[in-house]
Amino acid sequence: MTYNELKDLLTEKFGAEIITGENTQNPQPFLNIKTDRLADVCQELFTNPQTYFDYLACITGLDNGPEVGTLEVIYNLYSIPYDHHLTLKVITERLTPTGALPTVPTVSHIWRTADWHEREAYDLVGINFTGHPDLRRILCAHDWEGHPLRRDYEWPEYYHGLKVRYDNHNEVNGFKGEFFKTFED
Amino acid sequence: MSQTSSPYSNYIIQAEPTLHNPDNLKAGEMLLNMGPQHPSTHGVLRLEVITDGEIITDVVPHIGYLHRCFEKHAETRAYNLTIPFVDRMDYLAAMNSEHVWAMGVEKMLGIDGQLPRRVEFIRVLVAELNRIASHFLAIGTYAIDIGAYTPFLWMLRDREHIQRLLEWVSGARMLYNYIWIGGLYYDLPVGFEERCREFIDYLQPKLDEFEDILLKNKIFIDRTANIGVLPLNVAINYGCSGPMLRGSGLKFDLRRVDGYSVYPELEFDIPVGQGIMGTTGDCWDRNYIRALECRESSRIIRQCLDHLETDCKRTPDFDPQAMCPKKIRPKEQELYFRAETPRGELGYFFRATGKSDIPFRCKGRSPCFSNLSVLHEISRGCMVADMIAIVGSVDIVLGELDR
């Protein structure tokens, strides 16, 4: 099925309000899905014999930074028998008003591969997946503080008495990181 | 989780807490810690194993000991400067990783399909050479895991030839930085085609030989057949790819499905597991797939050499860096690009802002990561010694798993 057919199918099934936005200019067009309906949409895409998205290739957590104030979760779905793709996206705020991590419903009961991908997104970006059976840190140590892929993340000085930022030879040499700044406009 | 009150707390002193609390185990069950320095885990993988006697009831992998936050590094460097980091993800198949990265960035730049054909054939040639080297190490170390030492030495001897060839090409034995965005570091050295053809001729009898000594060996079959059977629906649901998925009987290879680079022009078969020695999807099938893929890769290499010696011949004015963009600045877009490495589907997710040479976000989808997550499904109910056989048959590279 093409992207437009998939979009029509979802609109027909769930109503137009679940799609909060889309981008068809992108080389891989994507749909923005309402956060609390994500699990229903994924269940439908997984079980419907016309779509049959049986392979969840990748889940990416993405922080847009404090200025924008949003987090995104991107799901790359693929159907092996039909050979079609779909990219879904969920956008939440960076922090809830109470200061807790934002929540996104889990899809690990549909695709078991989402289990580890969601743990990774929780670990590195800081997204709380509600309904996840075992949401622990996976790549960082269990007592690591903060979520390293957040834009406002600051490296700790010490971790269990070990100095984290050990390389000050750049400062000694007078190199202040100008090299990388030249790449930005 | 809390171990303060546990009578076992003195015995389990560790940085990472276990998922299972030793106090809550059933009678007769035992919590066993394997790793992170266990020799048969191919790196630093820690397994928390719950056993009932010799029977395994649950396995919990703890990963992240080799975590270097590749994604954080990739957000601070331009696309071409990240290629050495990509090498160090899957250090046994660095050419394949570079190939995927370069193709992904080229697709964002819109120069995919415009590269000189000689460049494409050289890329496929070195990637397939590296695929053979990677599979040789996978099967060789697997043989060591289950007690066969000789095949390991034979396979490393033959892998050494490939490493010398790739050293001749790029100057490095394992971490090449040879495939650049839009081209190659350098053309093939003079005489490489002849030497490579000699090596492939040398390789054919060796492949038969190790199939006889290892894969058709009675002891090997007894250790691996019907062990760690991975049903196809479980494999797909867990996102397995590569020899894991094909071993379970699905003919799915991204080189054919996506048809990137010059693969549509090349003739090769996709071996799938058929359960010749036991059940489809067991450890023997996965290793047999790898052995058959070495044969298919050598077929591909022969065809590449034919092209490189006839229609894409070396010319004095050929510049492999001619298409390399001086300024790598993709338009604003998001792209998930995937391709087949020896371990399965390696994907990169990029978001480019259009205003910077640095990706706003880059995510590496590692095949080992998804392949290992199925471990607890296929090793439940087997013996401890069989679990070593299962972990080896997944063929993990911890550098890529932890990124």
User: Domain A3-151: which CATH class?
Assistant: alpha beta
Question: Nearest-CA residue of chain B relative to A110?
Answer: B237
**Cα dihedral across residues B179, B185, B187, B190: positive or negative:** negative
Average pLDDT of the residues in B369-393? 89
pLDDT tens-digit readout, B107-146 = 988 888 888 888 999 999 999 999 999 999 999 888 888 8
Mutate to test the interface with A, among B107, B111, B112, B237 (most CBs of A within 10 A): B237
Q: Does residue B36 have a cis bond before it (omega within 30 degrees)?
A: yes
Torsion of CA B381, B384, B388, B391, to 10 degrees: 30
pLDDT tens-digit readout, B58-107 = 899 888 888 888 888 888 888 888 899 999 888 888 999 999 999 999 99
E strand intervals along B27-98: 29-34, 46-52, 55-62
A141 close contact with B: CB closer than 8 A: yes
Q: How far apart are CA B150 and CA B144, in angstroms?
A: 8
**Residue B3's pLDDT band (boundaries 50, 70, 90)?**
very low
Average pLDDT of the residues in A131-143? 87
Distances (CA, A) of B256 to B128, B262, B346: 14, 10, 15
Mutate to test the interface with A, among B80, B106, B270, B349 (most CBs of A within 10 A): B349
Q: How far apart are CA B201 and CA B206, in angstroms?
A: 9
Say which residues have a Cβ less than 8 Å from residue B318's Cβ, sequence separation at least 6: B116, B118, B187
3-state DSSP of A5-68? HHHHHHHHHHCHHHEEEEECCCCCCEEEECHHHHHHHHHHHHHCCCCCCCEEEEEEEEECCCCC
Query: What pLDDT does B149 receive?
Result: 86
**Tokens matching residue A163:** 């100095």
Q: How far apart are CA B119 and CA B324, in angstroms?
A: 11
Residue among A108, A130, A126 at smallest CA distance from A117: A108
Task: Please identify among residues 3-22 of chain A the ones whose CB lies closer than 8 Å to any CB of chain B.
Answer: none
pLDDT tens-digit readout, A5-21 = 888 888 888 888 888 88
> In Å, how far from its chain's centre is CA B274?
22
Mind telling me how many Å the CA of B209 is from chain A's nearest CA?
36
**Tokens matching residue B132:** 């053979």
> DSSP secondary-structure letter at B324?
-
pLDDT tens-digit readout, B274-292 = 888 888 888 899 999 999 9
Question: Nearest-CA residue of chain B relative to A112?
Answer: B238
**Cα dihedral across residues B238, B241, B247, B253: positive or negative:** positive
Q: How far apart are CA B51 and CA B53, in angstroms?
A: 6
Mutate to test the interface with B, among A24, A47, A58 (most CBs of B within 10 A): A58
> Which of A28, A116, A149 is opposite residue B71, by nearest beta carbon?
A149
Rg (CA), chain B: 22
ipTM, two decimals: 0.85
Parse chain A into domains and list their residue ranges: 3-151
Query: What pLDDT does A84 receive?
Result: 87
- Residue B32 pLDDT greater than 60, yes or no: yes
User: Domain B72-402: which CATH class?
Assistant: mainly alpha
A101 close contact with B: CB closer than 8 A: no
Parse chain B into domains and list their residue ranges: 72-402
Q: At what angle do helices B283-309 and B384-394 cross, to 10 degrees?
A: 20
A167 close contact with B: CB closer than 8 A: no
